[in-house]
Structure 1
Amino acid sequence: MIVFRYLSREVLVTLSAMSAVLLVIIMSGRFIKYLAQAAQGLLDPGVLFMIMAFRLPGFLQLILPLGLFLGILMAYGRLYLDSEMTVLSATGMSQQRLLVYTMAPALLVALLVAWLSMGLAPQGVAQVASILNQQDALTEFDTLVPGRFQAMRDGSRVTYTKELSADRAELADIFISEKRFSRTGDKERGITVLVAESGRQEIQADGSRYLILQNGYRYDGNPGQADYRAIQYDTYGVLLPKPSVSSEISEREAVTTAELIGSDNPRFQSELQWRLSLPLLVFIVTLLAVPLSRVNPRQGRFLKLLPAILLYMTYLALLIAARSALDKGRIPQALGLWWVHGVFLLIGLVLLYWEPLRLKWASRRAGSEVAHA
């Protein structure tokens, strides 16, 4: 029992450290993406941390299996280097028994991943989709930041205001530059520049919003050419476009697991198999990690780390490819993603029993040579 607690503690501590590092790396990259959208005026900066909080379960369901895999490699690799595993092996600790001990923390991780993948992650995705839909309903006026040039419509429109009232109803010193395209939208016809001393927002009966500019000029023409047209106006109305917030979230990711179970939709069935695959992934990577963590003290603990990571990435890549093929109907639903798990389960068993069988065969061969001599 003491050995069991010691091994479990080593694995869980290393798992926590590796998962924390991976989580920071992944969330930092995603946060930078959302921050860039906020800087462009596509997102309200106030919802950034809320979005990241709701995306956290989705990140963790993928990070924890990898964290456990790396945790076992690093923790047991250190024990091999410090000859602690040699001592344990001398007292009867076989690879099979070590695997049984390791399955206890793996069970905890699998239960947590199952809770995340089947419950929390879909709820979080649904909340993020709701937030992004609300942001998508905002107009350029709602996301405008005073003193900053903001690109809208994929950069074809740039808006600037020097001052903006607290209730976002009045603007001062306005500049708007917009590219003009042909009716087909495939040919640029020049640019239109609007400047005005002040402006206000007006909401029409159909819900559309206009920016009413006052006391300004409109310039139409092509850069580098002298055929500009200038128009002075007292009042000018500009339709406010709705910014489009890019999202990598698919609709099925927000569907509850209960709805997936009762659905005949192939995409929903592949999503269900994906969610079930994540907890199963935990046990199989544990089976892979235990024999891969065995290292020779003279070789160093990182000798097998790169091949092990490549093996894990191959496993995950095949799952993603099989999921895509399942969506397109190239793989029968009965076969689904399970064949990928079966392949790596077989690889794990080969790695686990290869060394004992090799030693047994070598012992028999040596005994046979001695007998012949």
Structure 2
Amino acid sequence: MIVFRYLSRELLITLSAVSAVLLVIIMSGRFIKYLAQAAQGLLDPGVLFLIMGFRLPGFLQLILPLGLFLGILLAYGRLYLDSEMTVLSATGMSQSRLMAYTLAPTALVALLVAWLSMGLAPQGVAEVARILNEQDALTEFDTLVPGRFQTMKNGTRVTYTRELSEDRGELAGIFISEKRMSRQGDKERGITVLVAESGRQEIQPDGSRYLILENGYRYDGNPGQADYRAIQYDTYGVLLPKPEVSAEISEREAIPTRELFGSDKQRYQAELQWRLSIPLLAFVVALMAVPLSKVNPRQGRFLKLLPAILLYMAYLSLLIAARGALDKGKIPMQLGLWWVHGLFLAIGLLLLYWEPLRLKLAARRTVREVAHG
């Protein structure tokens, strides 16, 4: 029991450290992307941390199995390097017994991943979709930031306001530049520039919103050519486009797991098998990591780290590829993703029992040679 607690503590501490580092790296990259959208006026800066919080379960469900895999490699690799595993082996610690001890923290991680993949992650995706839909319902007027040039409509429109009232009802010092495109949208036909002293928002009965500009000028022409036309106006209306928020969220990811069980749709069944596969992934990678963590102290603890990571990447990549094929109906639903788990389960068992089997066969061969000698 003391050895079990010691091994579990070492494994869980390393798992937590590795998972924390991976989580920071992944969330930082995603946060920068959302931050760029907020800087362009596509997202309200106030919802950034809320979105990241709801995306956290989705990140963790994939990070934890990888953290478990690397945690076993690093924690047990250190024990081999410090000859602690040699001492444990001398007292009767076999690879099978070590694997049995590893299954307890692995089951804990698998249960946590199952809770995330089948419960929290779909709820989080649904909340993120709701927030992004609310952001998509905003207009350019709602996302304006005083003193900042903001790009809209795929870069064809730039808007600037010097001042903006607290209730976002009045603007002052307005500048709008928009490229005029052909009907096909593939050729630029010129540029229109609007400047105004003040402006306000006006909502039409059909729900469309206009920015009503007052006391300004409109300039139409082509850059580099002396054919500009200037028009002075007292009042001018500009239709406010809706921001195009990049969600990168599929509808089925937000469906509760209980609804997937009762569906006969191919894509929904593929999503269900994916959610069930992630907890199973934790057990299979643990089975592969235990024998791969065994290193010679002279070789260093990182000798098998790169091949092990490549093996994990092959496992996850094959799962993702099989999921895509299952979506398109190229793989029978009965076969699903289970053949991928079966393949790498066989690889894990081969890695786990290869060394004892090789030693047993060598011992028998030696006995036969001595008997015949």
* Fold match by TM threshold 0.5: yes
Matches within 5 A, 1:59-208: 59-208=59-208
2: CA distance, partners of 1:290 / 1:235: 74
1: CA distance, partners of 2:345 / 2:184: 55
Shift of 1:165: 0.8
Q: Deviations over 1:99-127 (max 9, x none)?
A: 00000000000000000000000000000
1: CA distance, partners of 2:30 / 2:181: 34
Q: Deviations over 1:254-284 (max 9, x none)?
A: 0000100000110000000000001100100
Corresponding residue for 2:257? 257
- The 3-state SS of whatever aligns with 1:27 is helix
2: CA distance, partners of 1:64 / 1:82: 26
Corresponding residue for 1:349? 349
Corresponding residue for 1:306? 306
1: CA distance, partners of 2:76 / 2:263: 43
1: CA distance, partners of 2:98 / 2:183: 70
2: CA distance, partners of 1:283 / 1:186: 52
2: CA distance, partners of 1:186 / 1:169: 35
- The 3-state SS of whatever aligns with 1:175 is strand
- The 3-state SS of whatever aligns with 1:195 is strand
- The 3-state SS of whatever aligns with 1:248 is coil
One-letter amino acid of the structure 1 residue matched with residue 362 of structure 2: A
Shift of 1:371: 3.3
Corresponding residue for 2:211? 211
2: CA distance, partners of 1:309 / 1:184: 48
Task: Report runs of 4+ in structure 1 exceeding 6 Å deviation.
Answer: none
Shift of 1:3: 0.6
Q: Deviations over 1:176-210 (max 9, x none)?
A: 00010112222210110101111111111111110
Shift of 1:367: 2.8
Gaps of 5+ in 2: none
One-letter amino acid of the structure 2 residue matched with residue 278 of structure 1: I
Q: Deviations over 1:112-145 (max 9, x none)?
A: 0000000000000000000000000000000000
Corresponding residue for 1:331? 331
User: How does the TM-score come out when normalised to structure 2?
Assistant: 0.99
Corresponding residue for 1:7? 7
- The 3-state SS of whatever aligns with 1:276 is helix
Corresponding residue for 1:21? 21
One-letter amino acid of the structure 1 residue matched with residue 195 of structure 2: V
2: CA distance, partners of 1:222 / 1:301: 65
One-letter amino acid of the structure 1 residue matched with residue 274 of structure 2: W
Identity of aligned residues (%): 84
One-letter amino acid of the structure 2 residue matched with residue 71 of structure 1: G
Shift of 1:372: 3.6
Corresponding residue for 2:224? 224
Shift of 1:370: 3.1
One-letter amino acid of the structure 1 residue matched with residue 197 of structure 2: E
Which one is further off, 6-15 or 180-189? Answer: 180-189
Shift of 1:229: 1.0
Q: Deviations over 1:300-352 (max 9, x none)?
A: 00000010011001100000000000000000000000000000000000000
Which one is further off, 1-10 or 353-362? Answer: 353-362
- The 3-state SS of whatever aligns with 2:355 is helix
One-letter amino acid of the structure 1 residue matched with residue 3 of structure 2: V
2: CA distance, partners of 1:367 / 1:112: 49
- The 3-state SS of whatever aligns with 2:35 is helix
One-letter amino acid of the structure 1 residue matched with residue 280 of structure 2: L
Q: Deviations over 1:206-258 (max 9, x none)?
A: 11110011111111111111111111111110000000100111000000001
- The 3-state SS of whatever aligns with 2:72 is helix
Counterpart check, 1:292 vs 2:283: no
User: How does the TM-score come out when normalised to structure 1?
Assistant: 0.99
1: CA distance, partners of 2:277 / 2:202: 52
- The 3-state SS of whatever aligns with 1:211 is strand
Q: Deviations over 1:76-117 (max 9, x none)?
A: 000000111011111111000100000000000000000000
1: CA distance, partners of 2:108 / 2:316: 21
Q: Deviations over 1:124-181 (max 9, x none)?
A: 0000000000000000000000000000011000000111111111111111000101
1: CA distance, partners of 2:310 / 2:251: 31
Corresponding residue for 2:366? 366
Query: CA-atom RMSD, angstroms?
Result: 0.8
- The 3-state SS of whatever aligns with 2:223 is coil
One-letter amino acid of the structure 2 residue matched with residue 263 of structure 1: S
Question: How many residues matched?
Answer: 373
Counterpart check, 1:277 vs 2:277: yes
